[in-house]
Amino acid sequence: MNRRAFLMGAASAAAAPRTPPNILFIMPDQWRGCDMGVAGNREVRTPNLDHLAQDSVYFRSMTANTPVCTPARGILLTGRYAHRAGTPVNDIPLPDEATTIAEILGRAGYYTGFVGKWHLEGGKRLPGFIPPGPRRQGFKFWAANECSHDYFKQQYFRDDPTPIPMKGYDAFTWTDLALEFLDRARERREPFCLYVQHPSPHNPYWLPPGYENMYAPERLTMRNNWRPGLKYAGAPKDIAGYYAAITCLDAEVGRLLKRVDEAGFRDNTIVLFTSDHGDLLGSHGSIHKQKPWEESVIVPGLLRWPAGLRRAFASDAVFSHVDVVPTLLGLCGVKSPVAMDGFNYAPYLRGARVKTPEYAHLAIHTRTENNEFGPWRGLRSRRYKYARFQDKPWLLYDLEKDPYEVENLVDSRASARLVAQFDREIQTHMRRTGDRWDELRHRPYS
């Protein structure tokens, strides 16, 4: 993509529209921020997202504060850190008393809908029926399940406990259901908010039909921090399957955006594309998420609103999951009835000179997959990444000089002052938000 064209983006938009904007929130599962054409990956094919980026604010380092499914989803519905949303770990329910963006917008006259993987009910993941009522946290249109990554034997639920089986690869049906919502929204007078959460490209990295031969494992370039010879996932074959799922989903995003255009929604619809977390896929000799490295915590971040934002541009602002809900509400001109932890980027997106957060705060409250590491806390600034365990510092990287996080500076004498500064920031943040190292034994909603 021509960099000048991208930075200039679309022509300056007119003044913010008088009618409230719609929201289309698209969040596939486990998609690394580095794996889009616009992010510089020349091997993975994402033409629809690259086209979307030309008219979007592209947050180059959008950060998952707690990079694992349930915590991230709780944050992205409430605008509160995972321990404050009541979802610090996987497979626990979002508390009934949590206030979500769907509830807030519903009270403001929005038609709300949820399609895809929910993963906020807790307990057994299947069959995954969430009955109409408070457990749907404000969403009126419903076509979802709790959690399943069996992409060829998928099912979903509507308003009764009878499972509805899907035919073939599930991504196509999830998109069809989202299109159904958009068609209904076209017949209504209210603005809408639709959350679409495909379960892929999360492992297992099975090949979608029609994409089986798109990526040859032996021809793929591994990242500079990838380690060969792993005894578990992360091999080139897995990356080929992951890329195939990405390209398939890119086409599904194209289907969604085409319907938005056909329905006349384009100019006044905020489209936000992101993910709940990434996957190391062999980088740093590890897999999956819950770790502080970039492949785990940095996710896609594209935000488009032609009628309401002056221009498209690439941003290095420290924008993280916890900022999503307050920013969307800010763009919609809707006030939250409850306090949120995130920063409202709406003035920044409209071109105002405002002081934005210096750090994105990171936290994992339990041991990581394969029992690799204990709970940790950290932060990411524009330049640095830092993480620590309760009893000792762990990682420090200069991201400007070392974007692949190969050289750990945490034990360097020259870094002692920086480590102390970051430790003070983490301590202050934990005290301010009520976080604590033994948090899982003190988990009431607050």
Instruction: Tell me the catalytic residues.
Output: 69, 119
| Residue 218: φ, ψ to 5° | -70, -15
Give me 53's structure tokens.
């980026």
d(CA 236, CA 257): 31
What is residue 359's three-state secondary structure? coil
Other beta carbons less than 10 A from residue 268's beta carbon = 18
d(CA 383, CA 402): 10
Distance CA(260)–CA(238), nearest Å, equals 33
Report the Cα 400 to chain-centroid distance in Å: 23
The contacts of residue 92 (CB under 8 Å, 6+ apart) are: 70, 86, 122
Nearest to 175 by CA among 250, 264, 77, 100: 250
CA gap 231, 282 in Å, rounded: 10
C-alpha span between 177 and 247 (Å, rounded): 20
Q: For residue 290, which amino acid is it?
A: Q
Alpha-carbon distance values, 13 to 52, 91, 294 (Å): 16, 42, 33
